[in-house]
Amino acid sequence: MAHEKHPLTLYTDRLKSGGDIEEIDETIDPSCLGVQASDDVTITAPITIYGQAYVVDEYLVLDLNITTEIKIPCAFCNDEFVLPIKLKHAVHEESLDEIKHGAFDAAAVVREMIYLEVPLYPQCGGSSCLRRSEVEKYLKKEEVSEGYQPFIDI
């Protein structure tokens, strides 16, 4: 029987009855995650996912290690840069009640796990912006020019 299985679909009935642990070891194209949630963030490398899925009580538990790369704009200089993502043991629990027809597509979970790794103030050099001194110089110049008050006549 030809049965197309989406690489990230988990069948909970089998896990429930057997108490099995499903080993996940997949490398998927970012397009498999569907529409990307944010225009600012682009997943630029294949996503490697390995880990386990199992059922505990009434929950499907995903314990995943995820490796990929994303491209985001620096919060400081606005240049886009590539940020490697390396998630270890990211855990998600899904109530079995929420899972329709015993098939759970983990794509949305994986997508969310990746997006949660995006720092609030991403900086292109990792811990600080590569153009920080350049931008700071520019900002200082602005501060120094106290005489310039564009709204004084309003």
Residues of this chain that bind Zn ion (CB under 5 A): 74, 76-77, 124, 129, 131
Min dist CB 133 to Zn ion, Å, is: 11
Question: Which is nearer to Zn ion, 92 or 132 (by Cβ)?
Answer: 132
Range 84-89, long-range pairs (CB < 8 A, 24+ positions) = 85/114, 85/117, 87/113, 87/114, 87/117, 89/51, 89/63, 89/64, 89/65
Nearer to Zn ion, 102 or 119 (CB): 119
- For the CB of residue 82, give the shortest distance to Zn ion in the complex, in Å: 13
Considering the complex, what minimum distance in angstroms separates the CB of residue 135 from Zn ion? 7
Nearer to Zn ion, 83 or 124 (CB): 124
What tokens were used for 97?
């009640």
User: Is 51:8 a contact under the CB 8 Å cutoff?
Assistant: no
